[in-house]
Amino acid sequence: MSHAEDQTSVTAWGEDTFGPATGPAVLVERAMLEMEELVEAVRAGDHAEAALETADVFILLYRVATLCGFDVNEAVDRKMQINRGRTWARKGDGTGSHIKS
């Protein structure tokens, strides 16, 4: 499946639709609200709604990344290189934290 949207097209849509963001913090704050909606959908077991709320979060984060001058996919690649080089402690719930050396 090919993806028609990317960081550039999503950011352009956001600016065309809502106008320029006054700064990245306002977008992060909105993303936090969307995360709350995502939690509600997941807790309710509504996977279709969870997919849409996840997309809302990504849309906002694409805009944050653009305002901050970085590409999300490149940032994920860099962060995964760091993560793969770390030692991790499992918490037993599917999450964990890295062990600082």
CATH number of the domain encompassing residue 27? 1.10.287
Q: What are phi and psi of 30, to 5 degrees?
A: -65, -40
Our CA angle for 18, 49, 9, nearest 5°, is 35
User: Is residue 73 included in any domain, yes or no?
Assistant: yes
User: Is residue 100 included in any domain, yes or no?
Assistant: no
Please give the residue range of the domain that contains residue 30: 7-95
Closest CA to 99 of 83, 80, 81: 83
In the chain, count H helices and then E strands.
4, 2
User: Is residue 2 included in any domain, yes or no?
Assistant: no
User: Is residue 49 included in any domain, yes or no?
Assistant: yes
Question: What are the tens digits of pLDDT across the range 71-86?
Answer: 999 999 999 999 999 9
User: Is residue 1 included in any domain, yes or no?
Assistant: no
pTM of the predicted protein model: 0.90
Number of domains in the chain: 1
Question: What are the tens digits of pLDDT across the range 19-73?
Answer: 999 999 999 999 999 999 999 999 999 999 999 999 999 999 999 999 999 999 9
